[in-house]
Structure 1
Amino acid sequence: MRSLPPFPDLRSFLSWLEARGELARIAEPVSLRHEMTAVELACLRRGGPALRFDNPQGARIPVIANLFGTRARVAAGLGLEPDKIVEFGEFLAALRSPPPVEGMRDAMSRWPMLRAALRMRQRFLRHGPVQEAGLSDLDALPVQTPWPNDGGPLITWPVVLTRPEDSRAGDLTRYNLGVYRAQVLAPDRLILRWLAHRGGAAHHRSWERAGKAMPVAIALGTDPALLLAAALPLPETVSELGFSGVLRGARTELVAAKTVPLMVPARAEAIIEGWIHPGETAPEGPFGDHTGYYNAVEPFPVMRVSRITCREAPLYLSTVTGRPPDEPSVIGEVFNDLALPVIRTQIPEITDLWLPPAACSYRMAVVAIDKRYPGQARRVMMALWGMLPQFSYTKMIVVVDRDIDVRSWDDIVWAISTRMDPARDTVLLDRTPMDYLDFASPLEGLAGKLGLDATTKIGAEISREWGRVMHLDPQHEARAEALLATVLP
């Protein structure tokens, strides 16, 4: 299914983009404080290319930005053409829950899936390109301060590697890879902001309970498959390190870190190694976030940097998070399409689902279903909120029929206006889990949820005759297009 060659590192992906006119170099000096943010967002909103800033002011290392600023580049990072995203999502769903094998012929047809599973194994190197050179401290990195009221420089594309206290460095299936905010506090100090439900935070609690310092490694500028695997909401039982091999189409190469007991990506641009000591925190923020607001200042763990290794002439990968559209919201749209087949394995009546980027990519969902019985729309709402953890922070779900385009606001509003009665078709829940970054919530971490049943009412749902939708004859529509093509430019 993979139609593009494997990209073993960030550089190979950039070379591929540049050959296709998808990488622009900016030679003029650009300030890391706020100005670079403006350039990145202006380029993204034009559907522009990935950017390479060759002269970031005050730094010698070039900055790469807007890497995944279009759906096509996110797909390319997965090794796919854009029209293969849904098919790849179906493949991932089958890999996650394979159907039973029926005979030898069926077993042989599964070979691509078996080969993908084998690629989830890692390859270990004695020496890796990421350890060719080193940096003196964090000040050598061209770290952006993205927004005017931010609390300081912020590393925005760190792949943070952790493991629980009762594991060893070689227990790779127990590693967690997460993309967490990392504030530069001093030349040898970082603040890692991970929320309590994230894997890194769970590992941190295990080390704190044991009263031990926790080893941490931060990979900067990894290959696109590892970046996307770290960002995907994978099940806890799936290793991001292994899963990246499926995405990449080649096994993940790892090398032992120099000063901490962890294995790290051998072809990253740089690795920040260090330790988090029990009870050591510092106030993090404020920083502009995906909601379009600044976060409050809160205490989070401090990482003491023990070493920074890097490639010769390293590159620094950065991004900007803000009110959509931004790079994370573009990635989220593709992940939406990848996740749909997995969701349908659990709720098969769902025919399509859209998480509008403007709704912070997860706070609202529009769901189309193949409706067959009364109350089905409400059952689907409850299933999404209750069965799938990724929807626990979705505070509004609109359910529509399969004839509605869930990505068309005109279709959605028409369905709400003509197929929903506010008194009968509204589901309202109170005191449910919510992202504490939602300032509209009456209580931190607890808020209501709203469901709108905008489907055609059937059976016991309605006591009057339902209207008939108006449609033209398709032959007449085709005739109209042919006639107009002869008279209109």
Structure 2
Amino acid sequence: MRSHPPYPSLRSFLDWCRDADQFQTILEPVSINHQLTAVHRQVLEASGPVLQFDHPVKADGTHADMPVVTNLFGTTSRVAAGLGISLEQVPDLGAFLAALRAPTPPEGMRDALSRWPMLKAALATRPKITRKAAVQEVVKEGDEIDLSDIPICTHWPGDAGPLITWPIVLTRPHGTEAEDVARYNAGVYRAQVIERDKIIMRWLAHRGGAHHHQSWGRESEKTPVAIVLGADPAMLLSAALPLPETVSELTFSGALNGHRPRLVAAKTIPMMVPAEAEIVIEGYVSPTEMAPEGPFGDHTGYYNNAEDFPVMTVTGITHRKDPLYLSTYTGRPPDEPAIIGEVFNQLALPTIQAQIPEIHDLWLPPAACSYRMAVVSIRKRYPGQARRVMMALWGMLPQFSYTKMIVVVDDDIDPRNWDDISWALATRMDPSRDVMMVENTPMDYLDFASPKAGLAGKMGIDATNKLDEETTRDWGTVMQTAPEDAAFAADLLSRVMPEMKT
């Protein structure tokens, strides 16, 4: 299925970006305080290349020793490439991942052989353990630890300080061993640097890292944590994918990459870490010590309020001899999370359709912070079906529990076309009949529009054609040009107005 070779490291993917003319080196000195983000933002909004800042300037005016890489997934084509495929292959990969979630038994030898790519992908998830790793060419412990050696950016003028924005945070539950990598959770959590060896770990209560931290805390033990900076693209995207809680993102990345991930034992904590990463920050998160995290600019386009989160004490930093620091920013879309979300929307559609078959298409508008609003087209067959689909989506995946508005349209409507959506709302929806309100449901606590932190209402809008049981009036018939008349018009115009595109 892959149309790209495996990318065992961030560097191998950057090599592809260079060959594809999607890479730009910035030789000018650029401050990691606000300036670097401003440059990144303008390039991302222009669908520009990956950027490597070779001379980042730290807050004290000195030059950092390591370059900063940004805009890695600043276009949907690069997100697809990170998955090893072209944009055209995203639906096929989505169908493949849906089959992995609920495989059907093979029917005979021929069918079994046809599924070999799936079997190969499953086998590729088994990590390979090594004793020597590029990420441990340099090891710093004790007094050598200083997080300011890493050019961690302060992104927005109102930010509280330096913020690690592309970390893969590895944790495991209490009672497991370091070698039990299938039990690992890999999440992308915000991490604020507060001292040379202290980090605030912002993981929300429903996330895997927080669950693991709670399991250690119940035993009054500190949680071993590895923060991986600059992993291979499949690992980065696996950590962001909405996988089931029973699936380890770390091992799943092997299926995406078609390449067994290489792991090595961490130096100061009982954890395994990616051998080909750029930097690994090792340490323990306290079961009791908390500190106010934020405020920081968030994906909503606003600064969130400061709130207490657990503190991690760094026990070791390992990195390559010439490491790269991978960074990004979050803000009002477009940003990298929103662009990744566009591809993941397509990737998740077959899995969603497997559970709710009447869904024809689904769009999460990036401008609505990717998941706050959903537009769903369905093949409507019975009364009340639109409401059933709304409730099924809200209850199916954790991500949809934060979707505050769902608009359901018929399958003759393009859910990605605002003109189509507006027409359906204007002609197929009555506010007194077709709006469903739900109170006191889970909500992202960063959504300060909600009446209570973490708790808000939801709205469903049925903009489908109404069946006899749903209305007392005769329903209108949609006007359409007859196919033979459309063909005649296209032929005529191609001859008399060839410059006109129809």
TM interval, shorter chain, is over 0.9
Q: Distance in 1 between matches of 2:54 and 2:77?
A: 24
Partner Cα distance (2:115, 2:418) in 1? 40
Q: 1:214 to 1:476 in 2, by over 3 A?
A: same
Aligned 1:169-180 pairs, distance under 5 A: 169-180=178-189
Whether the aligned pair in 2 keeps the contact of 1:275 and 1:305 (CA below 8 Å) is yes
Q: Tell me the residue number matched to 1:100.
A: 105
1:109 is matched with which residue: 114, 119, 138? 114
The equivalent residue for 2:374 is 365
Cα deviation, residue 483, structure 1: 3.9
Does 1:464 find its partner at 2:455? Answer: no
Amino acid corresponding to residue 315 of structure 2 in structure 1: S
Per the TM alignment, residue 480 of structure 1 is displaced from its structure 2 partner at its CA by 5.0
Within 2, Cα distance between the matches of 1:484 and 1:423?
Answer: 50
2:73 is the alignment partner of 1:61: no
Q: Which residue, 401, 411, 416 being the options, matches 1:392?
A: 401
Shift of 1:141: 0.3
CA distance in 2, matches of 1:77, 1:168: 30
Q: Contact conserved, 1:191 with 1:303, CA < 8 A, in 2?
A: yes
Report the count of equivalent residues: 489
Q: Secondary structure at the match of 1:258?
A: coil
Aligned runs of 1:266-281 on 2, under 5 Å?
A: 266-281=275-290
What do the CA deviations read for 1:415-461 (whole angstroms, capped 9, x no partner)? 00001111111111111111111111111111111000000111301
Structure-2 residue corresponding to 1:9: 9
| 1:478 match | 490
* C-alpha distance in 2 between matches for 1:487 and 1:263: 62
| Cross-structure match for 1:75 | 80
Match of residue 449 from structure 2: 440
CA distance in 1, matches of 2:180, 2:499: 70
Rounded Cα–Cα distance in structure 1 between residues aligned with 2:78 and 2:281: 27
Q: Is the 8 A contact 1:30 1:57 kept in 2?
A: yes
Question: Structure 2 counterpart of 1:164, which letter?
Answer: P
Aligned to 1:165: 174
CA distance, structure 1, for counterparts of residue 411 and residue 376 of structure 2: 9
Using the alignment, how far apart are the partners of 2:367 and 2:492 within structure 1?
Answer: 36
1:353 to 362, 369, 393: 362
For the structure 1 residues 477 and 10, does the alpha-carbon distance in structure 2 shift closer, same or farther, using more than 3 Å as the test?
farther
Q: In structure 1, what is the equivalent of residue 51 of structure 2?
A: 51
5+ long unaligned stretches in structure 2:
59-63
Whether 2:206 is the aligned partner of 1:197: answer yes
Q: CA separation in 1, counterparts of 2:394 and 2:479?
A: 34
Unaligned runs of 5+ in 1: none
Give the Cα separation in 2 of the matches to 1:481 and 1:308.
67
**Kept after mapping to 1: 8 A contact 2:493/2:500:** no
What is the Cα deviation at residue 477 of structure 1?
4.2
> Relative to structure 1, is the Cα distance of residues 244 and 471 closer, same or farther in structure 2, using a 3 angstrom cutoff?
same
Is 1:88 matched up with 2:93?
yes
- Residue of structure 1 equivalent to 2:61: none
Amino acid at match of 2:7: F
Match of 2:305 in 1: 296
Contact 1:457 1:466 in 2 (8 A): yes
**Could you give the per-residue CA deviations for residues 380-403 of structure 1, whole angstroms, max 9, x where no partner exists?**
001111222220010100000011
Q: For residues 78-130 of structure 1, what are the alpha-carbon distances to aligned partners after superposition, in whole Å with 9 as ceiling and x for unaligned?
A: 00011000110000000110123222221111111111110111100011110
How many Å separate the matches in 1 of 2:340 and 2:54? 25
How far apart in 2 are the matches of 1:211 and 1:406? 50
Identity percentage over the alignment? 64
Find the counterpart in structure 1 of residue 135 from structure 2. Answer: 130
**Residues 488 and 165 of structure 1, relative CA distance in 2, 3 Å threshold:** closer
TM-score (norm 1): 0.98
Q: Secondary structure at the match of 2:498?
A: helix
- Following TM superposition, the consecutive aligned residue runs of length 4 or more in structure 1 with deviations greater than 3 angstroms are none
Whether the 8 Å CA contact 2:494–2:500 is kept in 1: the answer is: no
Instruction: Tell me, in whole angstroms, the C-alpha distance in 1 between the residues paired with 2:53 and 2:496.
Output: 49
> Is 2:429 the counterpart of 1:420?
yes
In 1: Cα distance, 2:365 partner to 2:492 partner: 33
* Cα distance in 2, alignment partners of residues 486 and 395 from structure 1: 47
Superposed, 1:131-146 pairs within 5 Å as 131-134=136-139, 136=144, 137-146=146-155
Q: Please say if 1:321 is aligned against 2:333.
A: no
C-alpha distance after superposition, 1:258-311 (max 9, x if no partner): 000000000000100011222011111100000111111111111111110001
Q: What is the correspondence of 1:247-286 to structure 2 with a 5 Å cutoff?
A: 247-286=256-295
* 1:182 CA displacement: 0.6
Change (3 A) 1:441 1:104: same
Distance change (3 Å), C-alpha of 1:167 and 1:424: same
Q: TM-score, normalised by structure 2?
A: 0.96
Q: CA RMSD in A?
A: 1.2
Structure 2 distance, partners of 1:104, 1:302, is: 54
- The aligned amino acid for 1:67 is L
Q: Is the 8 A contact 1:373 1:459 kept in 2?
A: no
Secondary structure of 1:418's partner? helix
What does residue 210 of structure 1 align with?
219
Rounded Cα–Cα distance in structure 2 between residues aligned with 1:392 and 1:484: 54
* Distance in 1 (alpha carbons) for counterparts of 2:489 and 2:193: 61
